[in-house]
Structure 1
Amino acid sequence: MAIPFDYSAEYKRKLCTPDEAARVVKSGDWIDISMGGAFPSLMDAAIARRKDELRGVKVRGYLIFQPIQMVESDPTREHFIYNSWHLSGYERKLCDRGLCNFIPMVFRNLGWYYTQFLTVNVAIMCVTPMNEHGYFNFSVSNASARAVLDKADIVILEVNENLPWVYGGQDECIHISDVNMIVEGEHSPLPNVKSPAASEAEMKIAEFVVQNMADGSTLQLGIGSLPNAVGQMIAKSDLRDLGIHTEMLCDSYLDMYKAGKITNNKKTLDRYKSVFGLALGSQDLYDWIRENPGVVTYPISYCNNASVVSQLDNFVSINNCISVDLYGQICAESSGIRQISGTGGQLDFLEAAAVSRGGKAFICLTSSFTNKQGEMVSRINPTLVTGDVVTDPRSLAYYIVTEYGGVNLVGCSTWERAEKLISVAHPAFREELIAAAEKQGIWIRSNRR
């Protein structure tokens, strides 16, 4: 078959070593190093080798799971200042060490931030090898990739031979004509992100969620042991004809697909297609999405957009949080002032579920946890602990679920919220929560004890 145009000469002209490409970075620059499986490890190492030549280089990235050499080589932050949109476990430890600053955001708006407000001097990300038509694919890290690259003064692509080509509906590729430099080299396998095993309490939470779902629902799951528990329970349930429309694709979806639960044939938008913005999981997950016409990637500006989700009937959003107060304020990203993760798409999907016909949003948490001193601590509190970040305002709270059941806070007054939330708190804390509610003026005599 004839190839319309041969891009090999342009490819060779733009191909260079990581050290050659790293020379374009200047002191004071803003550089972007993407996220997850698109983290450019070869370019990171090359720029880190220039540490002594550079000062005040500001770096943005997120959900990076391997050591960032620019950061690790510069404990004083004189040369590189790293900032993350959403913390992985590794980036959380960087924050604890004073080597990372968090950037608050609403995920659906991230591309807009770049388009309208942010400076990007150099953008670097890993992509698949180029195809015969001159395109590189963003693979597991579509997210806001195109918006970042479009804003950058210089675009450097690092070809990662391990990335699967993923079909897409929008902005999943970049053409070589829009690229300044190309880097090649050997890479480690993609990040293998495993969810921890679910606890007994989390399985009870999952049971409530699954019992409140209907055949033909379209799902959005967060990451962690609880969504994993939901996926396992759905796989064993009688639910049928489920669809996928999610920010992040994880192994829970693959479990459901293998069990025959995912067909996408009841979706009222993107029918027969599983839609996602980024993927993090096992090699099995990455193999599943490789050139699979039934699994397509879109930018987060599409996946997390309420006006898009409103076109999906029976949309169900399932996410975790860290704590909730008696007013329904939800903290899902910090413990006091210590940043744990980020807002991610949780706020987006709370809003989106509310405008889907038949939609539901579940925010899930175990009722208590045991601290380092061995003491049991309630996750439902009179008010949020000092420093806790409000991820979701009380005005958007929907279902709150613990192992003691689930309550719907939509349209509830402050005293109704207090009563409902205390009913799903750990029994050991209910009396003191009632006393606090009385003191706060949100408990009335008719409330049940």
Structure 2
Amino acid sequence: MNYTTSNLMNKYQSKIITAERAAQLVKNGDKVSYGCFHTKPIAFDIALADRIASGEITKLDTSIVGTILPVPQVLLKMAEKNDTGDFRYNTSWYGPLERMLASKGVVSFAPMQFQDVIKTRTEPLWHESLRRDVAVIQCSPMDNFGNFNFGISNALTRRDMLNTPIRIVEVNTNFPVVHGGAEEHLNIDEIDYVIEGTNPEMFYMPHIDAIEEEIKIAENIIPLIKDGACLQLGIGGVPNAIGKLIAQSDLKDLGVHSEMFCDAFYDMYMSGKITNRKKRKDIGKSVFTFSLCTKETMEFMKNNPLMASYNGEYVTEYTNIKAEDNMFSINATLELDLLGQAVSETIGPVQYSGTGGALSFTWGSYESKGGTSVLCLPSTYRDKEGKLHSKITGTLSPGSVVTIPRSVVSTIATEYGVANIKGISLWARSESLINLAHPDFRDGLVKDAEKMGVWRKSNKIS
């Protein structure tokens, strides 16, 4: 490959296209991919939405792994025009925007683990819905070697683009360059068109302060973490509380192999707790596949050689998780029954989030040499009328989807304690789980357990 500046710039100039012209490449009935989270294009999205609004496009499928602000204009126009068109907005992860627009009949959820999101873009297609005709992503400007970096949204991006006939990048000068790893970029020779975008500011997560129950959960988990542990954390109050507690602790030589690089890791880096020295693979580097974070964390990741961005298959595949010694994963769940079944993606039959890497990390971390997997949840929630309900239930709410089966679940943490239910009988696990529930609901849960035949006279609640 000729890396001379003149040769690269000639190629670059020959592929420049306006957002409006790029949107014209989409035919009625096409399937368009927007990548994952931050790679969602901005200028192209507006131009394509205009075609829907004008009636030029009446049938369209778009696909993305997770949606962030700004709201995709294509999604809004699809919802607006759905009565007179045939539109689908496909995703394997529900966030606030998907939940808000789900009732419009446009958002379509595809249940799958994170590593399968990548596999569906590389294996022979077994269903027409998996086809993509145009892939458009937002990314960093071209570097001196002709590469466009995916920043903090590696996930499926490279394989998705390479397995799509028309490949378009929309460059944003504010898009961070984050080191791999692997599969963190595309080369000028691997794309068809370049849109020079409007350079909007990146989307940053607000600071999330942990509430009292989340702080207590974090305090219950911290004693389980040992020096040299390799961590996986998600988003929210509990991980942020974990990060602050670890930053103030005596723990040392921690590593990172995590689906998401979250703000808690930034806190740990700043306090010198993360070195990645004890890892079996990617020694000295923090492995992740995407990030949703504050501006401070994103600035820390930018051009940082301590980062290793990989695709989602590498990061979340069970055998790769298991291969690291002392893996310690912490994942949130929404509901847990007395049999130990964990619901992490629905509230009753209503889709709330997605499977992501939860099952893989729960299983892989437990199987890791010296590893631990923790599922955490506050013991209660309040409904719209302010009534208190238990998140630990006798049986799951009707229509709930089991994300992690009872045979895989191991350690559970609430604000009332921690219990490892792996390998113990239903009698023993019902007792352990009831003792993690809010005291106001324990007697009722005992009655549920008796009806289910998973409670003995010798069982007791604290």
Specify the TM-score bucket, using the shorter chain as the normaliser: over 0.9
Does the 8 Å contact 1:195/1:224 carry over to 2?
no
SS at match of 1:267: coil
Matching residue of 2:235: 223
Give 1:416 deviation, angstroms: 1.4
Aligned partners of 2:318 and 2:364 also within 8 Å: yes
Specify the alignment match of 2:14 in structure 1: 13
- Aligned twin of 2:411: 399
Cα drift, residue 37 of structure 1: 1.4
What is the deviation of 1:279? Answer: 1.3
Shift of 1:373: 1.0
1:358-405 Cα deviation digits (max 9, x unpaired): 100110000011111111100000011001111111111011110010
Matched, 1:72 2:76: yes
| Partner Cα separation in structure 1 for residue 271 and residue 234 of structure 2 | 20
Distance 1:96 1:345 in 2: 26
Does the Cα contact within 8 Å between 2:32 and 2:62 map onto a contact in 1?
yes
Indicate which of 143, 155, 180 corresponds to 2:167: 155
Q: 1:61 aligns with which of 61, 64, 87?
A: 64
Corresponding residue to 2:422 among 405, 410, 415? 410
User: Do residues 129 (structure 1) and 130 (structure 2) align?
Assistant: no
* Aligned residue identity for 2:9: S
- What is the 5 A alignment of 1:113-262? 113-116=120-123, 117=125, 118-262=130-274
Q: AA paired with 1:92?
A: R
Q: Across the two proteins, how many residue pairs are aligned to each other?
A: 448
What's the secondary structure of 1:385's corresponding residue? Answer: coil
Q: Aligned-pair distance for 1:97?
A: 4.0
User: How far 1:268 moved relative to its partner?
Assistant: 1.9
Cα RMSD over matched residues? 1.4
What's the offset of the Cα at 1:285? 1.4
> Which structure 2 residue ranges, 5 or more long, are not aligned?
none
> How far does residue 114 in structure 1 lie from its aligned partner after superposition?
1.6
Is the contact made by 1:58 and 1:82 (CA closer than 8 Å) also made in structure 2? yes
Q: Which residue of 2 aligns with 1:39?
A: 40
State the Cα deviation string for residues 267-305 of structure 1 (Å, max 9, x = none): 121111111101111121111111111111011111112
- 2-side partners of 1:189 and 1:281: how far apart? 14
Verify the 8 A CA contact 1:195 1:228 in the aligned structure 2: no
Give the distance between the partners of 1:144 and 1:30, measured in 2 at CA: 16
- Which of 85, 110, 118 does residue 92 from structure 2 map onto? 85
Residue in structure 2 matching 1:320, options 332, 338, 357 = 332
Residue aligned with 2:381, SS: strand
Give the Cα–Cα distance (whole angstroms) in 2 for the partners of residues 346 and 415 of structure 1: 26
Aligned to 2:118, the other structure's residue is in SS state helix
**Which of 346, 349, 355 matches 1:334?**
346
CA 1:384–1:44: 2 relative to 1, 3 Å:
same
Q: Which amino acid in structure 2 is aligned with residue 135 of structure 1?
A: N
Match of 2:431 among 419, 424, 430: 419
Give the aligned residue type for 1:151. N
**Counterparts of 1:28 and 1:215 in 2: how far apart (Å)?**
54
- Partner secondary structure for residue 394 of structure 1: coil
Partner amino acid, structure 2, of 1:47: L
Report SS of the residue matched to 2:75.
helix
Pairwise mapping of residues 427-446 of structure 1 onto structure 2 (< 5 A)? 427-446=439-458
In structure 1, stretches of 5+ residues that fail to align are none
| Offset of residue 124 of structure 1 | 0.8
Task: Tell me how far apart the structure 2 counterparts of residues 76 and 8 of structure 1 sit (CA, whole Å).
Answer: 41
Q: What is the CA deviation profile of residues 222-257 of structure 1, one whole-angstrom value per residue up to 9, with x for unaligned ones?
A: 111111111111111111111111111111110111
The CA distance in 2 between the partners of 1:183 and 1:236, in whole Å, is 46
What is the Cα deviation at residue 310 of structure 1? 2.0
Distance 2:42 2:244 in 1: 34
In structure 1, C-alpha distance between the alignment counterparts of 2:289 and 2:248, rounded to whole Å: 26
Paired residue secondary structure (2:385):
coil
- Deviating above 3 A after TM superposition, structure 1's stretches of 4 or more consecutive aligned residues are 2-5, 96-99
Q: Decide which moves more: 99-108 or 421-430.
A: 99-108
User: Does residue 346 of structure 1 match 2:346?
Assistant: no
CA distance in 2: counterparts of 1:352 and 1:53, whole angstroms: 48
Once the two structures are TM-superposed, the CA of residue 63 in structure 1 deviates from its matched residue by: 2.1
Q: What TM-score results when the alignment is normalised by the length of structure 1?
A: 0.97
Q: Deviations over 1:140-170 (max 9, x none)?
A: 1101111211210110111011111111021
* Structure-2 separation of matches of 1:440 and 1:3: 69
